[in-house]
Structure formats: structure tokens, C-alpha cells
Structure 1
């Protein structure tokens, strides 16, 4: 969840473009010196990508709050619901993380060299962690007795 907030803090510039030699930086429309405004400008695909990541982040926050409710109030029915919501958030984020480089490459393929910044990799890391959390919450209901302390503890070592 925090990883997605840090990822969204960079807004659109998920790419680091090296300066062109022999060119005026202000004349290059894709260069960071002449980048899109942070107030919501930019192409539709960039706005859509940002919106998809924000929706995924909101779903992760909702799952975080629901997990407290499910674990503190002992409502094991919510555990699989949380897992399902996390998988929906993963799907939404995957769409956003795939659309962005495809559309950006279509626009800047003529420029040549470009590399993605750390925030794009951070978004992929957050998505992979959400996949693991979704699997965890889907499987957690099988261990509800151990989770809520309803079983007798089994000790491997018995004192003499």
C-alpha cells in the first residue's frame, strides 16, 4: 500500500530521459524540461494509467481496513472477500502498469534512449506483493481455528 502511494507521488514521469546532445531541450516535447504539468494535464492514456493506479491503491487501503475488522472481530467470512478484492486491485494495477510503457514507447520511440525510473519498478513490486497478500488471505480461512486460538497448542519439546 505505501509502495503505491510512493509510486503515485511521481505522477507521470516514470521515465528518465537523458539530455539530447546538440539539441535545445525546450524544443523537445517529451523532455522533462518540457514535461506535462502536474495539475492533471497530459494525454488521456497517462491520465487513465494514473487513475488505474489510484483505484488499485484505494482498494488496497480498503482491504487493509477490512483485515482489521476480519481479524479483530473474528469474522472469517471476510478473509476470502479481502483476497478477492486484492486480486481485483492486482488486475487493475497490471492493466495500468502495462498500458503506460506501451503507449509511452509508441510516442517516444523516435527519440531513442530512455529508461524507466525507480517508481515504475516500485509499482511492479507493490503489485507482486499484492498478489502474495491475495493468496495469503484466500488461504487464511483454512486455519481459522489456529488463527483465533481455538485449538490446543502443540509443543514439539516436552519438558521431563
Structure 2
């Protein structure tokens, strides 16, 4: 009597390296965004510098610089004291982008940890959408900030030399890393996450078992 056989198809879930790289990019973007938002080096002129939540004056103000209107005393910081509508708008956009980036990282982790294929895809789609929206909001904020400041420059008093500083650069870095993460999530095809393995099991006849 011939042996009987049974064929089964197993679904195997594979963790794609691009998903891991996108998660690393999102974590880096989070770190850069937090540092950027918490520092006051978005814009600088002499010893005066301003961030999105505080403006400060160092103790070493060059004597040739004209005084700044309503600037903090040397060595002090306070909230921006002028018409700061554009700064508030930029801060809100950047904070929303930070929250969305964190949500994208969290849903990416959930997608990597789930074994159910449908739930994996759902979490990856949410992560992709959050990352793309975060990039759009941050791009708007980073373009508006220097443009609106140029229009409002007269509110800072006498003419001075101004330059954007490293906190603003970190914000751009965070946006680029988030953009890279969104591209990786989009380009990594869903069907490559799963493959099917066929396995044939042979059962010997009963007389051979005995």
C-alpha cells in the first residue's frame, strides 16, 4: 500500500529591512525636532537670538550693533514680545508635526510587532499617512518662518544683520528624515512582506507503522 501525502501552504511573515530603516529615520527625526523646538537658536543677530518660545540676549552684545526693540536684558530670556503671530503659527505647525512623527514611529513599531497580516498593513498605512502629513506641515512652517520674519523685520527696531541658526537647521534635518521614512514606507511593497511556503507531508501506510 502506497504512502499517502498531504500538502499544506504556510504563510510566512518577513520583517523587511526598509521598515526597520524607516523606523530609525523617524526616531532620529523625533530627536532632532525635540532639540530644535527646545532651543532658542532659530534666528540670531549679534548676541540676540530667538526661538519659537523664548528670545534671549547674551552678555556680550557688540557695541556697534543698534539696540533691539523690547529685547531682553543681557543674560536674560523672555517670551517673544512683538507681533509674534507667525512665530506662534510656526510653533503650532512644528508641534503637530512632532506629534505626527511620534505617531508614525509608534504605528511602525506596532506593524513590525504584529503577526496578523491585515493589521500589519493597517499600521504601516497609518504610519505612512502620519509621516507624509508631518512633512507637509513642517515644510510649510520652515518656509513661512524666514519669509514672515523678513516682512516683520522692521518690528525689531534698527537695521541689523540677521541669520537663521542651527536650531532652524535641525528642524530641516528632522523634516528630511521624516520625508525619507515616508518614502521607505511607500516604496516597500506590501506583498513583499509575506510569502507562501508549500510543505508536503507523507504519511506511511498503517502496516509500516506497526
Q: Structure 1-normalised TM-score?
A: 0.77
Structure 1: unaligned runs, 5 residues or longer:
152-160
Aligned equivalents of 1:95, 1:8: Cα separation in 2: 16
Matched residue, 1:158: none
- Equivalent position SS for 2:194: helix
- Equivalent position SS for 2:151: helix
Moved over 6 A (4+): none
Matched residue, 1:3: 32
RMSD of the TM alignment (CA)?
2.8
Alignment of 1:45-124 (within 5 A): 45-74=86-115, 75-108=120-153, 111-124=159-172
Alignment of 1:6-45 (within 5 A): 6-10=35-39, 13-18=41-46, 19=61, 21-22=63-64, 25=67, 28-29=68-69, 31=71, 33=73, 37-38=78-79, 42=82, 43-45=84-86
Contact 1:10–1:119 under 8 Å retained in 2: yes
Once structures 1 and 2 are overlaid, which stretch shifts more, 101-110 or 67-76?
101-110
Alignment of 1:119-158 (within 5 A): 119-140=167-188, 141-145=190-194
Matched residue, 1:157: none
Measured against aligned partners, the alpha-carbon deviations of 1:37-63 in whole angstroms (never above 9, x if no partner) come to 33x765111111011100000000111
Larger relative contact order (CA 8 Å, sep ≥ 6): 2
Larger Rg: 2
CA shift in 2, pair 1:23/1:65, >3 Å: closer
Contact 1:76–1:144 under 8 Å retained in 2: no
Which structure has more strand as a fraction of its residues?
2
Q: Structure 2-normalised TM-score?
A: 0.60
Contact 1:63–1:82 under 8 Å retained in 2: yes
